[in-house]
Amino acid sequence: MVESSTPALDAVFQALTDPTRRAMLRSLAAGERNIGELAAPFDMSLAAASKHVKVLERAGLVQRAVRGRTHVCRLDPAPLAAADEWLRFYEQFWNRQLDALDALLKAEDLATALPPRKGKPR
């Protein structure tokens, strides 16, 4: 399991806390975008969009290339794998908890569904 205190993993989760950055990542999943294209769906300046991109870059989720005067961004999904691995531990934990609850409820249903015994068994 990935250590939860690693700076890279912390940076990924910090970057994902903002809904604007999550939307930018989703947009980049479809292909490269320049800063203007990333800013367009939001009421924000290019400078504000660039600040969001910088957070994503620090987390390793985005790579930026300068082509002339245009900054083009592309998604680098590799850091998301570490976050996914970290979350899978908890997915397995909750699956075990839910399986135990399901077994308990089924046993309870079975116990209440049986007719009560009368007299001594023969």
This prediction has a pTM of 0.71
Q: In the chain, how many H helices and how many E strands?
A: 5, 3
- Percent of residues in the chain assigned helix, strand, coil, to nearest 5: 60, 10, 25
Sign of the CA dihedral 67, 71, 76, 77? negative
**Rg for the chain, CA atoms, rounded:** 25
The predicted-structure confidence for 1-10, as pLDDT tens digits, reads as follows 445 448 899 9
Residue pair 15/58 in contact (Cβ under 8 Å)? The answer is yes
Q: What domains can be seen in the chain, in order of their start residue?
A: 1-113 (1.10.10.10)
The predicted-structure confidence for 80-115, as pLDDT tens digits, reads as follows 998 998 888 888 888 888 888 888 888 888 888 766
